[in-house]
Structure 1
Amino acid sequence: MLVLLPPSETKRDGGDGPPLDLAALSHDADLGPVRADLCDELVALAGDRPAARAALGVSQRQDAEIDRNAALRTNPTLPALDRYTGVLYDALDAGSFTRATRDRARSRLAVCSALFGLLGADDPIPPYRLSAGSKLPGSGTLAARWRPALDPLLARIADGELVVDLRSGGYAALGTVPGAVTVNVLARRPDGSRSVVSHHNKSHKGGLARLLATSRAEPADAGAVARIARRAGHVVERDGDHLDLVIPA
């Protein structure tokens, strides 16, 4: 089983790993050329602050994000799961994995990044700023650039194992996973009706990712994923390959 996570806008500074080595990242044979092009463009774009702000959707007060991109190839690295922060990654809490669960969890978790494509949990990356909705000058959308590389890679992965896709819409557009288990978080109102959860969506998906990453079970389909979540006390409704986590409004 592979649990596919979105990245986060917020990223931890620093690191104790060597500078970025694209060839050391997972799936280099499939994704290396797109990664190299995007890294080169981000570093060059950092030299033009107004253009970088417009492309990345940041303000002048966030110029430190552009500085990160300028030093993309020289800054120290951290494993991807340690680099990303924020609500989903707080709920995942990978730093608290026990020794017994760490290897299992890290082999099951992957991150879909706008800059690097598909990352393994331990892939060493520097801090950077690039979102799925960013548009670099003189080029197409990131989805248009990534899909020719990510679609066949994700199809091969999905042909060999179950994929639970927890990505948000913008990151799901970077590459399609045939037959993936998808998940929404819904709030149940007192009258029984449902509404999509936005504020706590990431937290609940992070909690589910933690359950799946550390479970001794090896689920083969959406029903088995639902059973793992239900045993942990979640209310889960299933419709084919799609699951809804239902929480009180």
Structure 2
Amino acid sequence: MSMSTTPINQGPPTADQEKKKTSPLVYILVGCGGLIVIGGIVFAVAMYFVYNKAKQMGLDPELMRRSPAIAVAKFVAATNPDVEVLSSDEANATITVKDKKTGKVITVSLDDAKNGNITIKEDGKDEVKIQAKGNGESGSLEVKSSEGSMKFGNTGDKMPDWLPAYPGAAATGTYSFSGNDAESGGFHFSTSDSSEKVISFYESELKKSDMKVQTFKTSQAGTVTGEDSDKKRAVTVTAGSSDEGTQVTIAFNVKK
């Protein structure tokens, strides 16, 4: 027996059927949008609590707007139990604090802080000037006083004449000190040569300068020190292997 089938006429899709055909992407996007909104709310609430906590700890929002340097200085001092803020002068951008442990009174001038310049004056002593220059790897910090000056970071200094430069390498100054009785400094460079070759080079060069030399070498690292007979000049060279080649640091000291 055979059966015949007649196609059933299906009318136009209903509204419910249309909803079922909505692309899943729409729901994903709506969900992401919801997450973004929720994330924004959470971030805003977090910032609100941070803001209020900072206010409780002594950060003055109005002072922060008018004089950021003074506001931050007062905030830092307020969070240190050993420091007492004696006075602050917003017009001249100065703040005077007292070290509770030592009794020392220090006045900090932040008038030119936006240009990286800060002046510190301790009662009965000469002022100390701090200057920050540049950014990142090219940045440096210099401290000057009547006793001498110190630099940190990329100092721009050159190695002293008596200290030979390694062939093919450009050494960068990392720190320096110049005082009434002595001066010292440090340099850094990298090379594709082995640490053993670097140490051997400086061992030979320092001996040529009639220095007393001591050397320690392994296959991956080494150190050589040199000191002249009157003990006025001394140097230490350290080299070590890394993924970026051999890293070398040089530190010297000269007595005047």
> Is TM (by shorter chain) over 0.5?
no
User: Structure 1 length as normaliser, TM-score?
Assistant: 0.23
Higher relative contact order (CA 8 A, sep 6+): 1
Between structures 1 and 2, the one with greater strand share: 2
